[in-house]
Amino acid sequence: MKLITFDDGRVGRLELEERLVLPLEVSSTREYFARDGHVRESGDRLRLDEVTLRAPITPKKFFHTSGNFREHEDESKNVDWSHPMHKGIVFFQNVDAIVGPEEPVIYPEHLTSELDYELEIAVVIGTPGKFFGVDDAPDHIAGYVVFNDITARDIQRREMESGVFSFCKAIDTFCPVGPYIVTADEIPDAQNLDMELRVNGVVRQKSNTNRMSVSIPHIVAYHSPQGYSAGDLITTGTVQGVAGFSGDPEMYLKPGDVVEAEVERLGVLRNPIVSWEEGHGTPVPQKVDW
């Protein structure tokens, strides 16, 4: 099943081939998972091109995993950061930074000149739980969704001087998620999905989930001591090809760019990059320094 949030927050089941939306009688996708999918259809039938897709879910908690693809960890050695990027880095994301498909990522030019992309998968928790092992992890996984971990590399570089980072990824609109949640029953092998990210149609990142250092069930079990609620998200980490490790400053995102993050079976998450003034209709605010 493909679950969407649309228009003013309605929830629906997407029939992609027929381009139809079947609204569900539930207030959010989080509630859908909390009720274990026991919700009714409203009986309406809407055309996909007549609705506006929103971010399919806003979790209670959003767990980040970093350095999990060996290739990305290797390319990070191209830059002289003060601390190495190991696969055990975890942190929370700011859920208020979430935007959906086709929504703009607003370039805060008063904060960064090195705006980057990171193609990832976010795992959706269905069954709440804590302190469980790898073998039990699949019982808690309800689905998957595409995630683009937008990052301000110049801010991240400063944060890495203390060995941690968060602000660089948590700025407003830096968290595109979508276009829909695909339930786990439609993904026979989440460890063998092709991944590709394009900027203005040019491929920047290309890999497969089989190149993770740590498997999805292991990641889910690892985070479980922090406690899961239905609808929480856990990311997998990104693949090689980010601008920040390329040595080419022209690869950084800029207003006017369009980013397409695609994962096999999970769809294409498309977001334009816009200037602050275009996004907000106001002049760029003064930078508040630390």
Domain CATH for 37: 2.30.30.370
| Full residue range of the structural domain in which residue 131 is found | 57-280
Summarize pLDDT for 1-42 with one digit per residue, the tens.
Answer: 999 999 999 999 999 999 999 999 999 999 999 999 999 999
Dist CA 200 CA 138 (whole Å): 36
65 and 155, same domain (yes or no)? yes
163 and 85, same domain (yes or no)? yes
Pairing of strands 233-235, 62-66: parallel
Task: Report whether pLDDT(183) > 60.
Answer: yes
Q: Is residue 288 part of a domain?
A: no
Q: Which of 54, 82, 97 marks a domain boundary?
A: 54
Q: Is residue 285 part of a domain?
A: no
49 and 61, same domain (yes or no)? no
27 and 157, same domain (yes or no)? no
Task: Report whether pLDDT(190) > 80.
Answer: yes
Question: What CATH number does the domain containing 99 carry?
Answer: 3.90.850.10
**pTM across the whole model:** 0.95
Q: Is residue 289 part of a domain?
A: no
User: Looking at the 3D structure of the chain, how many domains does it have?
Assistant: 2
Q: Is residue 250 part of a domain?
A: yes
Long-range Cβ contacts of 108-111 (<8 Å, 24+ apart)? 108/152, 108/171, 108/172, 108/276, 108/284, 109/275, 109/276, 109/284, 110/276, 110/284, 110/285, 110/286, 110/287, 111/152, 111/155, 111/171, 111/287
134 and 117, same domain (yes or no)? yes
Summarize pLDDT for 244-279 with one digit per residue, the tens.
Answer: 989 899 999 999 999 999 999 999 999 999 999 999
Phi, psi of 8 (to 5 degrees): -95, 25
Task: Report whether pLDDT(86) > 70.
Answer: no
Average pLDDT, the chain: 93
Q: How confident is the model at residue 234 (pLDDT cuts 50, 70, 90)?
A: very high
49 and 118, same domain (yes or no)? no
Q: How confident is the model at residue 84 (pLDDT cuts 50, 70, 90)?
A: low
Dist CA 84 CA 88 (whole Å): 11
Q: Is residue 183 part of a domain?
A: yes
Q: Is residue 124 part of a domain?
A: yes
24 and 76, same domain (yes or no)? no
Q: Is residue 166 part of a domain?
A: yes
| Cα dihedral 62, 243, 194, 221 sign | negative
Summarize pLDDT for 199-224 with one digit per residue, the tens.
Answer: 999 999 999 999 998 999 999 999 99
If one compares 113 and 72, the residue with the highest pLDDT of the two is: 113
Q: Is residue 287 part of a domain?
A: no
98 and 171, same domain (yes or no)? yes
Residue 274 Cα distances to 108, 159, 224, 271, angstroms? 9, 25, 37, 9
